[in-house]
Amino acid sequence: MATDFWASSHYKRWIVDRATLRQARAEDLQYVEDPEYFDLLNIFFANVISKLGKKLQLRQRVVATATMFFKRFYLKNSYCETDPFIVIAACCYVAAKAEESPVHIKNVVTEARLLFGGKFSSHYGIKTFPSDNSKLAEMEFYLVDDLECDLVVFHPYRSLMTLCGKPGNSAVLEAEAGELGVGIQDGSQSWGTGEGRLELQEGALQTAWFIINDTFRSDLCLLYPPHLIAITAIYLTLVIHSSTRDSIGLHSSDSSSGSNRRSPRSSHSHSKKPTQDIVGFMAGLNVSMEIIASIAQEIICQYTLWERYKEEKGEASARGSFATELQSSMSSGLKRTASGQLRAASVARSRDGTPVDSTQRIVGRTRQPAVVTPAFLAQLLIRMREAKMADMAHPATGRPMALDKRLERAQNA
Amino acid sequence: MLEDCANSMPLSQDPMRYYRAKRDNARPRVGDKYSILGFISSGTYGRVYKAQSKAADAKIHAIKKFKPDKEGDVVTYTGISQSAIREIALNREISHENVVALKEVILEDKSIYMVFEYAEHDFLQVIHHHSQTLRVSISQHVLKSLTYQLLNGLLYLHDAHIIHRDLKPANILITSGGVVKIGDLGLARLTYQPLQPLFAGDKVVVTIWYRAPELLLGAKHYNKSIDIWAVGCVIAELASLRPIFKGEEAKLDSKKNVPFQRDQMLKIAEVLGTADERDWPGLKDMPEYQNLKRLDHYNNRLHEWSTPRVKTQSGYEFLKQTFAYDPDKRLTAREALKHKWFTEDPVPSANAFQFLPTHQIPPHRRITQDDAPSMMPLPTANSHAQAAAQVQAQAQAQLSQLSQSHSAKGSVASFGSNGGGGGGHTRKKSRLG
Ligand SMILES: Nc1ncnc2c1ncn2[C@@H]1O[C@H](COP(=O)(O)OP(=O)(O)OP(=O)(O)O)[C@@H](O)[C@H]1O
State the DSSP H helix or E strand holding residue A169, giving kind and residue range, or none if neither: none
Q: Is A145 on the interface with B (CB under 8 A)?
A: yes
Identify the structural domains of chain A with CATH numbers, from first to last.
5-146 (1.10.472.10), 156-363 (no CATH), 378-412 (no CATH)
Model ipTM?
0.81
| C-alpha closest to that of B79 among A66, A139, A107, A68 | A139
| C-alpha closest to that of B299 among B322, B276, B329 | B276
Could you count the other beta carbons within 10 Å of the beta carbon of residue B158? 21
Contact A41, A224 (CB under 8 A): no
Nearest CA in chain A to B8: A393
Sequence-distant (≥ 6) Cβ neighbours of residue B159 within 8 angstroms: A1, A3
* Stretch B380-402: mean pLDDT: 44
pLDDT of B413 over the 70 cut: no
Chain segment B318-366, per-residue pLDDT in tens: 999 999 999 999 999 999 999 999 999 999 999 999 999 988 899 999 8
Say if the Cβ atoms of A93 and B196 lie within 8 Å.
no
What are the CA-CA distances from residue A140 to residues A154, A221, A382, B77 (Å)?
Answer: 21, 22, 22, 9
CATH class belonging to B121-360: mainly alpha
Say if the Cβ atoms of A138 and B95 lie within 8 Å.
no
Active site residue B345: no
Q: Is A167 on the interface with B (CB under 8 A)?
A: no
State the DSSP H helix or E strand holding residue B182, giving kind and residue range, or none if neither: strand B180-182
**How far apart are the C-alpha atoms of A136 and A125, rounded to whole Å?**
19
Ligand 1 centre and the CA of B184: distance in Å?
A: 6
pLDDT of B294 over the 90 cut: yes
> DSSP state, A335?
I
pLDDT of B208 over the 70 cut: yes
- Cα B362 from chain centre: 19
- pLDDT over 70, % of chain B: 79
Residue A402 has what pLDDT? 64
- Cα A244 from chain centre: 24
* Stretch B226-245: mean pLDDT: 97
Residue A163 has what pLDDT? 83
Could you count the other beta carbons within 10 Å of the beta carbon of residue B322? 24
Ordered alpha helix ranges (H), A101-155: 105-117, 133-146
Ligand 1 pocket at CB < 6 A: B 40-41, 43-46, 48, 62, 64, 100, 116, 118-119, 122, 166, 170-171, 173, 183-184, 186, 422
Active-site pick, B166, B202, B326, B371: B166
Residue A139 has what pLDDT? 96
**How far apart are the C-alpha atoms of A66 and A93, rounded to whole Å?**
8
Residue B9 has what pLDDT? 47
When comparing pLDDT for A36 and B384, which is higher? A36
Q: Which amino acid is at A137?
A: A
Say if the Cβ atoms of B192 and A97 lie within 8 Å.
no
| C-alpha closest to that of A164 among A192, A205, A193 | A205
| C-alpha closest to that of B165 among B143, B191, B144 | B191
Contact B28, B376 (CB under 8 A): no
Residue A145 has what pLDDT? 96
Give bridge partners of residue B172 from the DSSP assignment.
B182
Q: How many CA atoms lie within 13 A of B424 on its CB side?
A: 14
Ordered alpha helix ranges (H), A244-338: 245-248, 253-256, 274-285, 289-306, 315-318, 321-333
Residue B55 has what pLDDT? 93
**How far apart are the C-alpha atoms of B199 and A100, rounded to whole Å?**
11
Which pTM was predicted? 0.81
When comparing pLDDT for B256 and A323, which is higher? B256
Q: Residue whose CA is closest, atom 17 of ligand 1?
A: B184
Q: Is A137 on the interface with B (CB under 8 A)?
A: yes
Per 3-state DSSP, chain A is made up of helix, strand and coil in percentages (nearest 5) of 65, 0, 35
**How far apart are the C-alpha atoms of A80 and A41, rounded to whole Å?**
13
* Stretch B206-228: mean pLDDT: 93
Q: Is A383 on the interface with B (CB under 8 A)?
A: no
For chain B, give the mean pLDDT. Answer: 83
Q: Residue whose CA is closest, atom 14 of ligand 1?
A: B43
Ligand 1 mutation target, pool B36, B184, B411, most atoms within 8 A of CB: B184
Give bridge partners of residue B117 from the DSSP assignment.
B61
- Distance to chain A for B3, nearest Cα, Å: 6
Per-residue pLDDT of chain A (413 residues), as tens digits, is 446 889 999 999 999 999 999 999 999 999 998 888 999 999 999 999 999 999 999 999 999 999 999 999 999 999 999 999 999 999 999 999 999 899 999 999 999 998 988 665 556 777 778 889 999 999 999 999 999 999 999 999 988 888 876 555 455 555 555 543 333 333 333 333 344 567 777 778 888 999 999 999 999 999 999 999 999 998 888 877 764 444 333 333 333 333 433 344 334 444 444 445 567 777 778 788 899 989 998 988 888 888 788 876 544 433 334 344 445 544 554 444 444 444 433 333 333 334 444 444 444 444 556 788 888 898 899 899 989 888 887 765 555 666 566 666 666 65
Contact B325, B280 (CB under 8 A): yes
CATH fold for the domain made of B22-117:
Phosphorylase Kinase; domain 1 (3.30.200)
When comparing pLDDT for B253 and B416, which is higher? B253
- What value does the CA radius of gyration of chain B take, rounded to a whole number of Å? 23
What are the CA-CA distances from residue B241 to residues B125, B128, B130, B361 (Å)?
Answer: 11, 7, 7, 16
Pairing, β B162-163 against β B172-174: unpaired
Q: Is B26 on the interface with A (CB under 8 A)?
A: no
**How far apart are the C-alpha atoms of B346 and B354, rounded to whole Å?**
12
Contact A87, A139 (CB under 8 A): yes
State the DSSP H helix or E strand holding residue B117, giving kind and residue range, or none if neither: strand B111-117
Q: Residue whose CA is closest, atom 4 of ligand 1?
A: B119
* Cα angle value B25/B31/B33 (rounded, 5°): 85
- What value does the CA radius of gyration of chain A take, rounded to a whole number of Å? 21
SS3 B112: strand
When comparing pLDDT for A334 and B49, which is higher? B49
Locate the domains of chain B by residue range: 22-117, 121-360
Residue B417 has what pLDDT? 31
pLDDT of B71 over the 80 cut: no
Query: Both ends of chain B: CA-CA distance in Å?
Result: 42
- Distance to chain B for A2, nearest Cα, Å: 5
When comparing pLDDT for B135 and B75, which is higher? B135
| Phi, psi (deg, nearest 5) at residue B190 | -75, 135
Contact B127, B238 (CB under 8 A): yes
Residue to test with chain B: of A83, A97, A159, most B Cβ within 10 A: A97
Residue to test with chain A: of B4, B9, B12, B16, most A Cβ within 10 A: B16
| C-alpha closest to that of A294 among A220, A241, A226 | A220
